[in-house]
Amino acid sequence: MICPTCNKIARFLQRRQTCLMPVAATKNVALRATPHLNALLNKILPPPGPQLDTETRAKLLVTVHRVSPTGIASSALLPGLTAYTFWNEANHVALVIWCAIMLLLTIGGMWFYLGFQRDMGRLSRSAHTRKWWNNMRAIAFLTGLTWGSSALLHLYSSSVVFSSVLYLLTLGVLAGGATSQSPIPSNLVFAGVPILVPNVLLADFAFPGHGTYVQLLLAIYALMLARHSLNLQHTLVRAIQLESESRRLAKQFQEEKERALHASEEKSRFLAAASHDLRQPVHALVMLVEALRARNQSSSLHPLVEQVAAGTQTIDLLFRSLLDLSKLEGRKVLPTLEPCELNSLIHDVMSQFAADARESGLTLTPRVPDELFAMAEPVLLRRALFNLVQNALRYTKRGGILVTARQRRKHVRLEVWDTGAGITPEHLPEIFSPYYQVHNPQRDPSQGLGLGLAIFRECVRLMRGTYGVRSVPGKGSVFWFALAPVPEETVASVRAMRANAQAEEARHDRLRGTVLVVDDDSQIRKAWIALMEAWGIRVACAAHGGEADRLFAKGLKPDIIFCDLRLPGNENGLDLLERWQTSQPQARSALLTGDLKSAALQAAEEAGYFVLPKPVDPANLRMLLRRWLPTA
């Protein structure tokens, strides 16, 4: 007696043998159709992606591992639930064996999940990826075999409903695998083929008379899932590569930023260390020129001496601006706004471009009230105006430059007009960006670097002002910036101080008294001697503290002691003045320094000593001497 299952298998094989009989006859047709089939598949499926590096493979592996618990839960719950629901629709032994096979998949999935986590802390990233990449494929193949074994249940059941449920489970597993295994599409081959092959072969057995239709549906469904999975994988790989590139760029940006900050700090340290030596010759020059002015009695030499004095003041001002700007760039000193008189500042800036304007045939015209103040930082204000005038001269070929300043109700507005080439509207939003040059697309360095307007913008921002530009192509441009006005009571105080300074300057009385200067630079000592003698003051000089002590021992009783903060060896000007307070109680003391910032300077300021920065301003020095010395 032959069992019903064996009869079904025999009939199924007989139908398959009948279908395979014409295979030999159609072999040549299939070979001819292969290229067309490959072309069709290439159109349906996306092209393969590039070779993945270890880092990308590791992240894809982590993504697959993250969704493993879902697959483990499915392999444990779905077979048991299916067997319980259709217990009476299929052979009991077959259902139990199938559940046991699925239990093997559950154990394999848990082994992969726990082992993967355990090795993450023990192996290097590359070794971990190599080991579990192959293990992951083994688990994928096990998944395909176990879920593919469900197709054998069709041989032990005659229920169409049960067969339909099994196919639905198969389609669901394929859909879930296409999503969860999409980071690594090759897993779909290891898992999908063992699932699809038995279901395709047994489609006629599960659905008699409709097997070809089911096989076609499975093929179309598999192609759709494959394309979906490949698209997901390409998107995920691209996201991982973009993330890695972003991290690389962020790291590179941080390194470049740290390198730039280090260079800026090195520059600031250099200026702080070298400022004393840099200031010394300027300090001596200023004092010698002032001594020359005081001693000159020739009316014919007077204009030349005044020109030399004006040039020296310009050198002094530019030198101070350079050091002050360095301090502001290094953020060692935050910009402090103070009343700035605009008329003299604008005329001074424009005088620096007078020769260039004459050579180019351009006019430079200031239009500023005699007395107009704005709240600003002098160095930043000078730099902002300097850059605007320089920019206007660079792009103006005929006509001229007009600089205006006027008081408005809520601000003081400065404008620089030119008759240059102008700027088209599409370029206006970008002209204040660093390295942006409208009329220099070839990036010719001889035409500048494109930093002038960017520095101007930063200067105005630090002074808490606003800025803007209006331009008509072919006719010219107007660059402007606005600053806070000075309160009326502050203007009145400035006027009073200026009047007192002018009155002091107008006095022709000669000073009398004795001054001791302690400075290790011989040129500085000679300059002090020339200036003090020109003002009628007796002066004694010493190169260091020991020499000054010898002068005291010979009977020197100075009225004022000017001592350099930095002296040779271990001597310190602050320590010397502290010591001389006991031996020379009659003398007033002041420190001279060219340091931008030092611990000794901070200690001197905290101790209350009067500090004169180098180069010393002769006008301020004369006012100080008039306060501390009696007049003749």
Spell out the SS3 assignment of 361-424: CCEEEEECCCCCEEEECHHHHHHHHHHHHHHHHHCCCCCEEEEEEEECCCCEEEEEEECCCCCC
Residue 34, pLDDT score: 47
Are 93 and 143 in a shared domain?
yes
- Shared domain for 454 and 572, answered yes or no, is no
pLDDT in tens, 365-405: 999 998 899 999 888 898 899 889 988 998 898 999 999 99
The stretch 88-102 carries a mean pLDDT of: 89
Q: Same structural domain for residues 348 and 451?
A: yes
Identify the CATH number of the domain in which residue 378 sits.
3.30.565.10
Report whether 341 contacts 498 (CB < 8 A). Answer: no
Mean pLDDT, range 421-433, rounded to an integer = 81
64 and 201 inside one domain: yes
The C-alpha atoms of residue 360 and residue 393 are separated, in whole angstroms, by: 9
pLDDT at residue 438 in the model? 52
Instruction: Evaluate whether residue 118 is within a structural domain.
Output: yes
Neighbouring C-beta atoms of residue 153, cutoff 10 Å: 24
Same domain? 53 vs 192: yes
Per the model's pLDDT, the better-predicted residue between 206 and 416 turns out to be: 416
Q: Are residues 478 and 615 in the same domain?
A: no
DSSP class of residue 539? E
Mean pLDDT of the chain: 79
Q: Where are the alpha helices (DSSP H) in 432-571?
A: 452-462, 488-506, 522-534, 545-553
pLDDT confidence bin for 30, thresholds 50/70/90: very low
Q: Are strands 560-564 and 538-542 parallel, antiparallel or unpaired?
A: unpaired
Q: What is the mean pLDDT of residues 142-163?
A: 86
Position 194 in a domain:
yes
Q: Is the pLDDT of residue 590 over 70?
A: yes
Q: Tell me: the pLDDT tens digits for 163-216?
A: 888 888 888 888 887 777 767 777 778 888 888 888 888 888 888 888 888 889
Tell whether 232 is covered by a domain: no
Residue count of the chain: 632
pLDDT band at 80 (very low <50, low <70, confident <90, very high): confident
For residue 501, what pLDDT is reported? 62
Classify residue 356: in a domain, yes or no. Answer: yes
Indicate if the pLDDT at residue 38 is higher than 80: no
Residue 335 has pLDDT above 80, yes or no: no
Does the pLDDT of residue 248 top 60, yes or no?
A: yes
530 in the same domain as 464: no
Tell me 566's DSSP state.
B
71 and 123 in a single domain? The answer is yes
Any domain includes 20: no
* Residue matched to tokens 């280090």: 262
pLDDT over threshold 50, residue 44? no
Write the pLDDT tens digit of every residue in 251-260: 888 888 888 7
Q: Tens digit of pLDDT for each residue in 592-625?
A: 887 656 666 677 777 778 888 887 888 788 888 8
**What's the total number of domains in the chain?**
3
- The pLDDT score that the predictor gives to residue 150 is 87
Provide the pLDDT for residue 27. Answer: 38
Same-domain status, 410 and 535: no
**Domain boundaries, position 429:** 338-483
Averaged pLDDT, 153-162: 85
**Residue 445 located in a structural domain:** yes
Is residue 191 within 8 A of residue 179, CB to CB? The reply is no
Determine the average pLDDT of the residues in 211-224. Answer: 87
581 falls within a domain: yes
pLDDT the model gives residue 413:
95
